[in-house]
Structure 1
């Protein structure tokens, strides 16, 4: 068994999407497939093995285009995976996201009964993500994916979502995204935060020691689980007009609107963290990947620079708990692979145009429960850990009800009341992205 101090990732066996950043700019597509015939399903996997890229770093810019493949519990079952192996997967994965919706805060508008079909049903079996730096690369890579399921009558495409980087390079809410990702030990990728040592490989990839020094529970047989990882997929509709209306109503001018938005998120629109520049944005700093993640929160315990309830600080508290509690934030770190979909709402527009726009949230990690589910339920949906039980994350907290948001300031703090939900879950699922050798094992199932 490898030790935590001596880990060499088997990069040639790990799917590239688990460790590689998405290209920027990017265009892409997510496909959901249903397997109606096990033989065709195994033939699909056999073909996909040849088009999925491994996690070996490449110096070729053209290799920024890649395909990632993952399977739901029902998908693995449809392929003919033995029940003893199916039972060895984590409980969360076996139950599926819809069954855990109330626990996750997916209630009201976000409840599974309102999700886009086939999410929330047993018809989602395979997910294929295709991401490229431009349309030409996308078409070439997408064609490889199309050929994999062409002429297989037992395979049906049941859902598709196109995505692309908005012209501003930001999310639909207007903020620079993709900042603050952890570095994985043995991945060959340098850290962007010199204050944070790389995560142990087992936090992200199965078969290696994690931050506890132990091997995470892994599906059996070994060839199926090792070098695989869990993937959480969520389509999140963003209510941009409602968000702008709320800020407009609470602010005296555009400058104050920008300030309130930054306090909610924890960063200015250009990516500048409040921890480094609490009074104004700095485009040069915000756009520098070597600087915009180079900070901690330990010198701002009360949140005068960055509120403790801000989205970015909730999702990654960094050193906020050092010396104050038994919480080890490193046990809850995760890799995010967010992308945008839908048209941008023109700047200054306050009325909803009816368009579907938002974020495809993708989590990659070895522990669905203590990574994604813990952060979602304990840090984003609940305010107890920051001493504000009635306050949820102002952007992506528990759905179905309004929340408050406190902005510490001298001499008197400011409290924004009745912050409405700005994000609605439109669907999602738990997947498992197997290694390349596991995909060959799946293709050869009897």
Structure 2
């Protein structure tokens, strides 16, 4: 096995802070399973899974069975040597209908998880929302309904009161631009632009309301929101492709951090947002935050398509662009550029809350899972992160996506991002070679 990078010196990580945090990330629906156990309600992804539209007809019914195997997964994290674990809470596990009666058994599961993490010396980072809206609320309009702001605030209050004695790091939303852009109800409907803007605004309002709840409820809370930051580039020199890329870039990268961190919508969005903007809304959205969560994988190449809602489609990558096995560009210097730009724009500590490599890993004849390409990717990307820090970007942590292979949304179980292989037939966990590489990296940087 070629670990490629063995030491902090070779990785040029000396520019990182002495208190830099290394971690891993997951999300509730992607790993927990147990979707109909202990009083949990259904989420929109449970219902979508029944449609048969997900690749291979996969569902999240079992996923990685983390609900029952969380102790084994905590042991993996302890073996890895991480300082922090970012996970999300399943709203329908706590509130089966999205509001009203609280499910004590759901709260108790997260109590066990949090207590287990703390006992292992791992700090819990809790994300309130990673795309699993309760189906009961979707049937009342979901994020299209302005009442969703209060639904989310009430949910945040329950989580804060229950877990805030032990959890201090909270994120409101994970990648709001992604679940709005690619919503089944919005992103595929050319006529839904008004719905799209309404959803953007309500999610932003819900973020602000949750920040206020967390700040008022959790003493010493450290609060942020997590944003997908992927440069949108034209796939050709055509003017129409450049315009489409610029438009998508605003919606993908700016529609949420700009109002949340700077108190304003980008000019391109304002005409669509204004019909839904009430007096005081921007002040309700732009609440004091402590850090900026940044997820990055690769640039996006865009071509014009007037037949779609925002006038774009995904285009060809430049010839010769290195690609992951799932066809995502590998451009580590883009990561450096994104980090420096976010630092200069928002001026808050940055935590890289997702970065990783998707593939189709399989065990070899001996049962081991060797993934040198992922190691190379992680080595190059963490080196680019360190280069951004050397340029002055205030980067304070890095969380690999992901601890485990898991349910990857529309792709089901066909895409594997984990540094731990999951045999879905048996649910056995097998640390990959990248797991051991990451463990060595953490050890080297903590003792450098």
Q: Do both share a fold (TM > 0.5)? A: no
Structure ranking higher on relative contact order (CA contacts 8 Å, 6+ apart): 1
TM-score, normalised to structure 2, is 0.27
TM-score where L is the length of structure 1 = 0.27
